[in-house]
Structure 1
Amino acid sequence: METLGEVQYLTVHGYRRAFRISGSGPALLLLHGLGCDSSTWVDVIPALSKQFTVIAPDLLGHGESDKPNADYSLGGYANGMRDLLTVLGIDKVTVVGHSFGGGVAMQFAYQFPDRTERVILVSTGGLGKEVTPLIRFLTVPGSGAVLAAATFKPWRPVVAGALRTLAKSPLSATRDLDEVARIYETLGDPAQRTAVQRVTSHVLNWRGQFVTMTDRSYLARLMPVLVVWGRQDMVIPSAHADMAPTHEMSDVHVFEDSGHFPHKDHPKDFVRIVTKFIADNEPAHYHRGKWRALLRRGDQFELESVPTGAEAAAQPAIS
Structure 2
Amino acid sequence: MDKESARQQLIEAIGVPVEQREIQAGDIKTAYLAAGDGPPLVLLHGSGIGGVVWYQSIGALSTHFRVIAPDVVGYGESDKPPATYDKAFYARWLRNFFDAIELNQGYLAGNSCGGAISLQFAMNNPKRVKKLALINSGALGKQMATGAKFRSLLLNCYPTLTAARWAIHYLVHEKSNISDALTQYAVEVLQKPGGRRPFWDGKGKVFDPFTDDQLKSVSHKTLILWGKEDQFIPTQYGRLTKKIMPNAQLKAIRRAGHFPFLDRPFVFNKHLIEFFKPTGESRYNA
Provide the residue aligned with 1:5 in structure 2. 18
Instruction: Say if 2:82 and 2:201, in contact at 8 Å, map to a contact too.
Output: no
**Aligned match for 1:214, one of 212, 219, 224:** 212
Partner of 1:32: 45
What's the CA shift for 1:181? 7.0
1:193 is aligned to 2:196: yes
Post-superposition offset of 1:197: 2.4
Gaps of 5+ in 2: 1-13, 281-286
Q: Among residues 54, 59, 63, which one is paired with 2:72 in the alignment?
A: 59
Q: After superposition, where does 1:224-235 map in structure 2 within 5 Å? A: 224-235=221-232
Post-superposition Cα deviations, 1:193-238, rounded to whole Å, max 9, x if no partner, equal 12332234423xxxxx533253311122x21000111111011111
Q: Is the 8 A contact 2:32 2:68 kept in 1?
A: yes
Q: How does 1:1-319 map to 2 (within 5 A)?
A: 2-3=15-16, 5-128=18-141, 129-130=143-144, 133=147, 135-136=149-150, 147=157, 150-151=158-159, 156-160=160-164, 163=166, 167=169, 172=173, 183-203=186-206, 209-220=207-218, 222-246=219-243, 249-279=247-277
Q: Please give the secondary structure, in 1, of the residue aligned with 2:140.
A: coil
- TM-score, length of structure 2 as denominator length: 0.79
Letter in 2 for 1:31: L
Secondary structure of the corresponding residue to residue 55 of structure 1 = strand
1:183–1:2 CA distance, 2 compared to 1 (3 A): closer
CA contact (8 A) 1:131 1:237 kept: no
Greater Cα radius of gyration, structure 1 or 2? 1
1:213–1:26 distance in 2 versus 1, CA, 3 Å: farther
In 2: Cα distance, 1:210 partner to 1:135 partner: 9
- Per-residue deviation at 1:260? 0.5
Query: Cα deviation per residue 1:9-66 (whole Å; 9 max; x = unaligned)?
Result: 0123332110111211111110000113101111111111111111110011100001
Q: CA deviation at 1:187?
A: 2.7
Asked if the contact 2:80–2:195 (Cα under 8 Å) also holds between the matched residues in 1, the reply is yes
Change (3 A) 1:254 1:15: same
Sequence identity of aligned pairs in percent?
Answer: 26
Q: Which runs of 5+ in 1 are unaligned?
A: 204-208, 283-319
Q: Is the 8 A contact 1:132 1:236 kept in 2?
A: no
Contact 1:98 1:124 in 2 (8 A): yes
Cα distance in 2 for residues equivalent to 1:65 and 1:113: 25
Looking at structure 2, the residues matched to 2 and 177 of structure 1 have their Cα atoms a distance apart, in angstroms, of: 17
**Greater relative CO, 1 or 2 (CA 8 Å, sep 6+):** 2
Distance in 1 (alpha carbons) for counterparts of 2:267 and 2:161: 33
Q: CA deviation at 1:70?
A: 2.8
Cα deviation, residue 186, structure 1: 3.2
RMSD value, Cα: 3.2
Q: Distance in 2 between matches of 1:159 and 1:74?
A: 27
* Structure 1 Cα separation of the partners of residues 111 and 80 of structure 2: 20
TM-score for both structures, normalised by structure 1:
0.71
Q: Distance in 2 between matches of 1:278 and 1:134?
A: 28
Mark the CA change 1:182 to 1:135 in structure 2 (over 3 Å): closer, same or farther.
farther
Q: Compared with structure 1, are the counterparts of its residues 213 and 245 closer, same or farther at alpha carbon in structure 2 (3 Å cutoff)?
A: farther
**1:160, CA displacement in angstroms?**
4.7
Q: SS where residue 54 of structure 1 aligns?
A: strand
Determine the structure 1 residue equivalent to 2:6.
none
